Amino acid sequence: MRYEGIVYRPPSEANSLIIQATIGCAHNKCSFCSMYKDKIFRIRSLKEIFTDLEEARLYYNNITRVFLADGDALSMKTGDILSIINKINELFPECRRIGLYGAPKDILRKTTYELMQLHNAGLGIIYMGVESGNDDILTQINKGVNAAQVAEAGRKAKESGIKLSVTLISGLGGKKNWMNHVVDSAKIINDIDPDYLGLLTLMLEQGTELWKKVKSGEFQVLSPEEVTLETKVLLQNLQLSQCVFRSNHASNYLTLAGELPRDKETLLLEIDNALCGNDRYRAEGYRRL
């Protein structure tokens, strides 16, 4: 298998076979993101992708999950994604889930019928970055879509039957806009009602546009206490039917995991304990607030 540059994947795809269907991110303009800045976006040929898959079959005898990288493999033509899925099914009959990143625009470009075709063929999960539900913040970070479009994309993915995993970024509104960020983010997540919600914390990457704004004083980063308080407000405002919630990325100050709405009160209690500096949390090794 040939890999180009650093390959990113969601935490839940840690044990998956990773195949680069695309190189880089077609958008590549978000002000906080440096993941694919060193790559010029391109879609790999089916021949190259099939060769990688065939080679993987020679090395591994049990592949239960496949993740199609890089940034937004869903930007490929539906027919080509179907060919890849069919090839995976042929080579790895034991495979139980195929996943990929899908930007909101990629989902919107596909018809519901196309998404259903992908689902029926074996596409099990789409990971979509929501980042924030606030229009001003989405504009400031150059997300390229507004909140209504992100919500529409999320609903559309869910309608197709494909599991949807979305991410929000704590602290993306900075000190000035944190309340707008969290309230509007809760609204958009409630609207989408995803199967999985991952909460990351803003990490400043040197050289990004956002990093420059922090340097100039235009953007003020939230303190760990403020990020934790923001998480509390988010959870208080979420009303979901059934969602696996995770805040266990390396960027997070406080590790949280549960199912919503079932574990909401427990999670809120954990946050309150952390905000109060409860010794048990320090003893368990979470970063002291």
Rg, Å, the chain Cα set: 19
Q: Is 27 in the site for ligand SF4 (CB under 6 A)?
A: yes
Considering the complex, what minimum distance in angstroms separates the CB of residue 11 from ligand SF4?
Answer: 16
CA triple 33-124-147, angle to 5 deg:
45
CA pair distance 228, 128, nearest whole angstrom: 23
What is the total count of residues that contact ligand SF4 (CB under 6 A)? 11
Candidate ranges 32-40, 114-122, 206-214, 216-224; the one touching ligand SF4 (CB under 6 A): 32-40
For 271, the 3-state DSSP assignment is helix
The CB-of-47 to ligand SF4 minimum distance in angstroms stands at 25
Residues 181-220 close enough to bind ligand SF4 by CB under 6 A: none
Q: Which of residues 60-89 bind ligand SF4 (CB under 6 A)?
A: 71
CB 171 within 8 A of CB 225: no
**Is residue 35 within the footprint of ligand SF4 (CB under 6 A)?**
yes
Q: Which of 18, 21, 33, 53 binds ligand SF4 (CB under 6 A)?
A: 33
Burial class of residue 21, CB neighbours in 10 A (0-12, 13-18, 19+): buried
145 lies in the binding site for ligand SF4 (CB under 6 A)? no
Comparison of 36 and 219: residue with beta carbon closer to ligand SF4: 36
Q: CA–CA distance from 280 to each of 60, 137, 274, 284 (Å)?
A: 42, 36, 9, 6
Cβ of residue 129: shortest distance to ligand SF4, in angstroms? 5
If 0-12 CB within 10 Å is exposed, 13-18 middle and 19+ buried, where does residue 83 land? middle
Nearer CB in complex with ligand SF4: 82/130: 130
2 close to 18: Cβ distance less than 8 angstroms: no
Between 116 and 221, CB nearer to ligand SF4: 221
Closest to ligand SF4 by CB, 66 vs 130, is 130
The three-class DSSP label of residue 197 is strand
Is residue 64 within a helix (H) or strand (E), and if so which, with residue range? none
Answer for which of 129, 154, 194, 198 binds ligand SF4 (CB under 6 A) is 129
x-marked contacts with ligand SF4 along 88-127 as a string, rule CB under 6 A: ---------------x------------------------
Are 268 and 235 in contact, with CB atoms under 8 Å apart? yes
CB atoms within 10 A of CB 264: 17
Q: How far is the CB of 141 from ligand SF4 (least distance, A)?
A: 8
In angstroms, give the least distance from the CB of 197 to ligand SF4: 17
Among the listed residues 116, 112, 114, 118, the one whose alpha carbon sits nearest the alpha carbon of residue 88: 118
In whole angstroms, the minimum distance from the beta carbon of 32 to ligand SF4 comes to 7
Site for ligand SF4, rule CB under 6 A: 25, 27-30, 33, 35-36, 71, 103, 129
